[in-house]
Amino acid sequence: ETGVTQTPRHLVMGMTNKKSLKCEQHLGHNAMYWYKQSAKKPLELMFVYNFKEQTENNSVPSRFSPECPNSSHLFLHLHTLQPEDSALYLCASSQGARGRGADTQYFGPGTRLTVL
Amino acid sequence: DQQVKQNSPSLSVQEGRISILNCDYTNSMFDYFLWYKKYPAEGPTFLISISSIKDKNEDGRFTVFLNKSAKHLSLHIVPSQPGDSAVYFCAGSGSARQLTFGSGTQLTVLP
């Protein structure tokens, strides 16, 4: 596997379910990100991890819970979601904040989440 | 407050012609700008970037122009090909080296 992978690609869940999204990067990067993309809106940054430490939480509701066990893996745990949380959830990775120049992010294919 | 704006949600261009995608920003602290391309059912892929100290960067058919005084950047694709049909996002990067994205422009290249 190369690049950034995400599983599952599609997920349908009820509001009372608990599920997790998984992201894995094979690029040797030190930073990982979760984004939410809703229709016709910019990508919204949710969480940032640099060297396994969470460095950003953009006022995301607590029903979204990230976990970064190591610099290659990132999870997003979901519980008691709302229908308005239905969106494309994208994971990305980059060299990280300790580098120089543009910290280009590389994205996974995303998980299309539908909350019923 | 949207710091990066792409005011044209869509653009159609004839194959072989030039595509010009525009982006405006309000945050003068951005020191890099990046363009990403996104196909349906895929994540965004990095296309080209430009440092805020430059006014032009070219990579093959893709050229990005930056006008700092106008807080405006544009992506030129010449010649446009049907495979270029995708959503294009511009993004600004500041001191924290995180990206702030625009809402995207759907480019359709007509054969």
Compare all CA atoms of chain B with the CA of A95 and give the residue at the minimum distance: B97
For residue B56, what is the enclosing H or E element? strand B56-59
Closest approach of chain A CAs to the CA of B15, in angstroms?
A: 25
Share the mean pLDDT of chain B.
94
Gap between the Cα atoms of A95 and A30, Å rounded = 5
Best residue of B8, B97, B99, B101 to probe chain A, by most A CBs closer than 10 Å: B97
- H/E stretch holding B72 reads strand B72-77
CB contacts of B34 in chain A (<8 Å) are 102, 104
DSSP string, A31-95: EEEEEEE-TTSPPEEEEEEETTEEEEE-S--TTEEEEEEETTEEEEEEES--GGG-EEEEEEEES
Best mutation target among B39, B99, B100 (most A Cβ atoms within 10 Å) is: B99
Whether the link from the prior residue into B79 is cis, omega within 30° of 0, is yes
Q: What percent of chain A has pLDDT over 70?
A: 94
Q: Is the pLDDT of residue B60 over 70?
A: yes
Residue A97, pLDDT > 70, answer: no
> Which chain B residues have a beta carbon less than 8 Å from that of A74?
none
User: pLDDT tens digits for B5-30?
Assistant: 999 999 999 999 999 999 999 988 89
Burial B88-111 (b: 16+ CB within 10 A, else e): bbbbbbbeebbbbbbbbbebebee
> Which pLDDT belongs to residue A98?
61
| Interchain contact, A104 vs B46, CB within 8 Å | yes
pLDDT interval class at A42 (50, 70, 90): confident
If interface means Cβ-Cβ distance under 8 Å, which residues of chain A face chain B?
4, 6, 33, 40-43, 45, 48, 56, 90-92, 94, 97, 99, 101-110
pLDDT of B71: 96
